[in-house]
């Protein structure tokens, strides 16, 4: 019998981190600014809850993603706050 492939924790983290950019508009990197990005954010939230990802990890990943896109501190703070309103009530600290 073949061994069942189950994702390990590092695979799970990579998966949600890879999906995170879908929650941001391509041109201005605003969080859930249009319907498609908002849909991705809701889908991601469901996955984050299922996987037990905490808000602190999501916040860090958002900051890293936006910094990697060349965004400044003001933009990063604003978009992190937008994401917090969407994600934080549903995720643990």
Residues ≥6 apart with Cβ < 8 Å to 73? none
What mean pLDDT do residues 84-88 have? 96
Q: Is the pLDDT of residue 11 over 70?
A: no
Query: How far apart are the C-alpha atoms of 93 and 56, rounded to whole Å?
Result: 6
Query: How far apart are the C-alpha atoms of 76 and 3, rounded to whole Å?
Result: 43
pLDDT at 3: 45
pLDDT in tens, 34-84: 999 999 999 999 999 999 999 999 999 999 999 999 999 999 999 999 999
**pTM listed for this prediction:** 0.83
How far does Cα 44 stand from its chain's mean position? 7
CB 66 within 8 A of CB 21: no
């Amino acid at each position: 019998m073949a061994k069942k492939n189950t994702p390990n924790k590092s695979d799970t983290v990579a998966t949600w981190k890879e999906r995170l950019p879908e929650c941001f508009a391509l041109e201005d990197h605003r969080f859930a600014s249009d319907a498609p990005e908002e849909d991705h954010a809701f889908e991601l939230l469901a996955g984050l809850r299922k996987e037990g990802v905490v808000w602190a990890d999501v916040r860090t990943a958002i900051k890293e993603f936006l910094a990697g896109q060349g965004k400044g501190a003001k933009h990063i703070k604003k978009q992190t706050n937008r994401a917090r309103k969407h994600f934080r009530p549903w995720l643990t600290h």
